[in-house]
Structures are given as C-alpha cells and as structure tokens.
Amino acid sequence: MAFDFDTRVDRAGTWSTRWDRYAGQDVIPLWVADTDFAPPPAVLEAFSRRLEHGIFGYTAPPEALREAIVERLARLYGWRVSPEWIVFVPGVVPALHHAARTLMAPDAHALVPLPVYHHVRRAPALAGRALTDVPLVVDRGRWVFDLDALARSIRPSTRAFFLCNPQNPGGTVFTRSELERLAAATADALIISDEIHCDLLLEPGCRHVPIASLAPEVSRRTVTFMSPNKAFNFPGTGCAWAIIEDAKTRATFAADIEAHIMASASLFGYVGALACLREGDPWLAAQLDYLRGNRDLVMREIDLPIARIEATYLAWIDCGPLGVADAQEFFLRHGVALSPGTQFAAQASFVRLNFGTQRRRLEQALERMKAAIRTSSRPSPTG
Ligand SMILES: Cc1ncc(COP(=O)(O)O)c(C=O)c1O
C-alpha cells in the first residue's frame, strides 16, 4: 500500500504548538518535534471506531496493549519483559520529571549528557537535585560520550544517569558496545533512559538497543521510557510507558499513578498505541524512507557542520561558521523558525531543524536558510 507524505494538511487553527506561535506570519515553523504527517490509517480508523462508539469514560490500561508492547520488544530487540513491568504514563516528559522526584533522594546527584532534549536536564534540575553536565563530543561524525569526562563527573552521591537514546538533538543511535561501556562506567547508578525516538532509525544497518536489554544487572537498575507518539505522530493524545523490572523501583515510581496524583495515559492514547503497534509497521517503514530523503536533502543543501543523523527527524546544525550571535534569531528573520541551541543547554550558535514535514515545504525552508547564509559574515561556499 502506498502512503502519502506529500500532501499538505493545513494545521492553522488546530491549537498546534508548532504552528500557532507564528500564525499569520510568513514563517515556516520547523521547531517543536511533531511531524506534519497524519498517523497511519490504522490509527485513524481505530480513533474513528472509538469515536462512533460515543462513550469516553474512565479507562484502565488495556491488557492487549501490554501484550503488544511485550511482543514488540521481544521481536525487535530480543528484550524479554514481563507485562507487569510496564507502567503507563501520560507522556515521557512528565515521566522524566516524576522519576527525578521519586527515584532520586533529595541529596542525590545526577549525570546528564549535553546537548540534550531540555526536559531530560530539567527533570533533575527542577526537582532541585544536584547534577553534572557530561558533554558529548563529535567523534567520526557522531555525537558520543566522552567516557573519561563521564568517569571524572561521578561523585559518591551520584545516583542517576540520564540517557537519551537515540539522542535528541544529536541524532546518534548508540551501539551495543557504546552502551555496554556506558553501563560499566555508570556502575551502580540508576539509568533513566529516554528511548522515545527508538522507532525513528534512518541509517540503514543501525539497530536500536534498549540499554536495559544488555544484561540482567543493567535491567535491574534501569527505567526505560518509550512511546509511540514520536514515530507515529499522535503526541497530543498522551500515552507513553515506563518499563521497570525492579519491583521496589517500580512501586516507588507507580505510587503516585496508583493514587491518581499523576494521571495515567488517555483513552485515545491507548487506542492509537494499540493500533500502531499492531498494524502500523508498513506505514512506519514508508515514513522512514521519506524522512531519509528529507534528511539527505538537509545534509546536501545546508553547508554547515551537521553530525550524522542516524535517527530522529531532527538536524542539529552547528552555525558557528556563520559568525552570528544567535542562530535561531538569525534564521527566524529570514522566515524559518528553528529550535535554539540554548534550549538543549548548548551554544546559541546551534539550531535544531525538524524535517518531519512535506518535502516541498522543507525545500522552501532550505531555500530561505541558504539565502540567509549568503547574507552572513562568512558565506557558505556552496550557499
Ligand atoms: C527525547 C524526548 N523525550 C520526550 C519527548 C516528549 O515526550 P512526550 O510527548 O511523551 O511527553 C520528546 C519530544 O520531542 C523528546 O524528543
């Protein structure tokens, strides 16, 4: 079956975070990480069937969804989890914050990779926990951990290591051996692993390895967060899950959900998640082809340093060569809204571009960016 990623859907007036900020302006918004693609037809049909039913009462997490998750993790990663390890949450973001607050003692210290999706760092920071930034470095075109720097950052009070894999904004898919070294380097720390981008693998041959799947010892000290909402694009419905083997850690994390202090996932989140896990893979494969084409276009057209985007629909662009003080503001003046580097605790000379949009729109945005680059103090040679 052919899937259409080229037809534009007008998102104006739909309360879209990404589109509403620049409503009425000649700005192409390529910032917040959702895509401009409708989810797989199977998800839309499942939503319609539920809508036609007409009653949307309080809802318990469906057993069928737990089973679909267990089956998928075994099939894709050879990772055997028990259904009871799964705790449903309304999103990975609240789960990250909740984990920092419930699983780290007030005097515990966390290690956080940089650059990183802002909520990964904000989770321990807003919880008032001590943290040390562990800068990633570019090695052979990929953002990777500097294990020496990581080892130097460990303190006697280090209790948590926050991992974002695949990495947002860097686009790295950490290999099994890189993860093994990370697990060894973080010794006894709890690993809080945000794996929301795990289905968005663009690089042929790249495999996602859930860090918890490495070994029983690692699984027992890992909390993994996953969600279908990035890859299948229904983040507005609110559905994600934590996978926690250790019963004590799980009980601590889940207590506020069982007490209804924190919400579980939403009805339409469950419906969409079950439909995409059961029937969404052909659509996902087609979307990955399309995104690969968009990624290659960005890499071809933008003559600035961009590390290899192995996964995600996000390009992390080093605009340092342009010599502009604030790269986000610079491109915004030329009609393209990108995410500022500072959002990811990096320099303002970086921007993150979301290429999860129609090819034609991306081409227009890249034309504007190239025109902007031509006006900068250090024009790009091919720009
Ligand atoms: C690494 C990462 N984690 C979490 C999220 C958002 O998670 P959720 O929508 O499930 O709260 C994003 C969204 O961009 C993300 O990139």
Tell me if 93 CB under 6 Å of ligand 1.
yes
Query: Which of 31, 168, 234, 266 is the pocket-test mutation for ligand 1 (most atoms within 8 Å of CB)?
Result: 168
Confidence of residue 187 (pLDDT cuts 50, 70, 90): confident
Per-residue pLDDT at 1: 72
Instruction: Output the six-digit token pair for 377.
Output: 């103090």
Mean pLDDT computed over 195-210: 97
Q: Are 70 and 81 in contact (CB under 8 A)?
A: yes
- The fold of 56-279 is Aspartate Aminotransferase; domain 2 (3.40.640)
Of all protein residues, the one whose alpha carbon is nearest to atom 13 of ligand 1 is 33
For the cut 60, the answer to whether the pLDDT of residue 380 exceeds it is no
Mean pLDDT computed over 247-266: 95
Mean pLDDT computed over 277-301: 98
Tell me if 194 CB under 6 Å of ligand 1.
yes
For the chain, the domains span 17-41+281-375, 56-279
Return the SS3 of 75.
Answer: helix
User: pLDDT by residue (tens digit) across 319-332?
Assistant: 999 999 999 999 99
Q: How far is the CA of 230 from the centre of ligand 1 (A)?
A: 7
- Residue 15 — left, alpha, or beta (φ > 0 → left; ψ -120 to 50 → alpha)? left
Instruction: Output the six-digit token pair for 167.
Output: 């990495």
Tell me if 235 CB under 6 Å of ligand 1.
yes
User: For the chain, what is the largest distance between any 2 Cα atoms, rounded to a whole number of angstroms?
Assistant: 60
Mean pLDDT computed over 92-100: 98
> Dihedral, CA atoms, 327, 331, 337, 341, nearest 10 degrees?
-10
The region of weakest confidence among 76-85, 165-174, 198-207, 372-381 is: 372-381
For the cut 80, the answer to whether the pLDDT of residue 375 exceeds it is yes
Helix (H) or strand (E) holding 51: helix 41-53
Tell me if 213 CB under 6 Å of ligand 1.
no
Task: Calculate what percentage of the chain has a pLDDT beyond 90.
Answer: 96
pTM, 2 dp: 0.97
Mean pLDDT computed over 15-36: 96
Mean pLDDT computed over 73-95: 98
Q: Are 313 and 289 in contact (CB under 8 A)?
A: no
DSSP annotation of 7: S
Length of the chain in terms of residues written:
383
For the cut 50, the answer to whether the pLDDT of residue 383 exceeds it is no
Q: How far is the CA of 107 from the centre of ligand 1 (A)?
A: 27
Q: How far is the CA of 280 from the centre of ligand 1 (A)?
A: 20
For the cut 70, the answer to whether the pLDDT of residue 382 exceeds it is no
- Rg, Å, the chain Cα set: 21
CATH 1.10.10.10 is held by the domain 17-41+281-375:
no
